[in-house]
Structure 1
């Protein structure tokens, strides 16, 4: 479904990503992990069209490297942001409607109500997105907005950050439900090793903008380079 070929991103003299190359099969749930500053969010920005890059991004066999963000969304690439970014002056339902028109190019109220229900936001649908939602609700809204764009590929940037263990387990179960219900392919950035091991069939590890490991979570988290760069305390 997705192929990255020698993806490189520079910000002046800083190389944020260097020759990142890997593929993603339809239906996979892949964990993208690594220390802070490793390039994970930059990679999401490059895939979704927020950041220009060198190399190639192919989606369903099509080269989308130079396509603008809105055209990538229309092809089926949806994403969340690490810090929830609701449209604060709109209600929860209106947030989904705007996202749907942007990403899917249409307004389908029934689909919006389905997403509100599956994300446990129906009771909050008429509330303003600013000030009326708790952290977990804001995170569910962030995912709901991405779902409203009708993605085939869903990029989730630390949607579990700031949640305690029980809430993380609940969110992981919800993501498995979304994966099955909507036929999604998912890439999730997450620091929690237990979550990645439980949720993902595969993990890719970045460090200083380069891939240092790619495989099953069990194998990746035993890799010496990963232990040294990211999980030394856990390994010890």
Structure 2
């Protein structure tokens, strides 16, 4: 589905992503891990169109989307969340989904919005002010709901579990598993919690200072001493 070929992203003299290649299939659930500043979110930004890579190619279903704007990538099926929830102020939860759906599909499907509200347990808050009427777990669910409203084939989840307590995190993780099955989307998730990644993901890719240093099953990757050093920062202690 998605093929990253030698992606490099530079900001002036800083190389945030360095020659990264990764293949994501139509049924994959992949964890993207690494220490803070490893380049994970920058890679998501490159895939979704928020930043343009300095070099490399991004193929989505065989089509080169490197120069495609963000809305075109969304309408092709690339959806994403952001690490810090970004509800649209002065709009209700349902209106937030409506705007996201128009952006990502160019049309409105109220039945699908109702399904998404039910799935993300936000139906009871559909008419609440999205910026002021939701708890943290609900704000995280709204991020996922907005991404689902764009009708994605590939979903990029940027630390959607961050800040949640243990019970909330596990409940959210089960929702993501159901999401993969019910909506038939591939998922790439940035997450620091090794237990979550191991339980949720089939494969794990590891970034360190912008470079891909390992890829494999969770058991393979987290047994690699070099990965653990880069992931925990032990090599720089």
Alpha-carbon separation, structure 1, partners of 2:168 and 2:150: 25
Deviations 1:178-215 (A, max 9, x none): 10001010000000000000000000000000001100
What's the offset of the Cα at 1:231?
3.7
User: Aligned pairs, how many?
Assistant: 233
Equivalences for residues 103-142 of structure 1 within 5 A: 103-142=104-143
Equivalences for residues 215-234 of structure 1 within 5 A: 215-231=216-232
- Tell me which residue corresponds to 1:151: 152
SS of 1:46's partner is helix
Structure 2 gap ranges (5+): none
Match status 1:12 vs 2:20: no
Alpha-carbon separation, structure 1, partners of 2:67 and 2:231: 33
Alpha-carbon separation, structure 2, partners of 1:191 and 1:23: 21
Deviations 1:101-144 (A, max 9, x none): 00011101111011000000000000111111000000000000
Q: Is the 8 A contact 1:221 1:231 kept in 2?
A: no
Moved more, 42-51 or 164-173: 164-173
Alpha-carbon separation, structure 2, partners of 1:226 and 1:12: 28
SS of 1:89's partner is coil
Q: Is the 8 A contact 1:33 1:204 kept in 2?
A: yes
SS of 2:114's partner is helix
Equivalences for residues 1-236 of structure 1 within 5 A: 1-53=1-53, 54-231=55-232
Q: Is the 8 A contact 2:173 2:200 kept in 1?
A: yes
Q: Following TM superposition, where does structure 1 have runs of at least 4 consecutive aligned residues deviating by more than 3 angstroms?
A: none
Alpha-carbon separation, structure 1, partners of 2:233 and 2:45: 28
Alpha-carbon separation, structure 2, partners of 1:65 and 1:89: 34
SS of 1:163's partner is coil
Structure 1 gap ranges (5+): none
What's the offset of the Cα at 1:232?
6.8
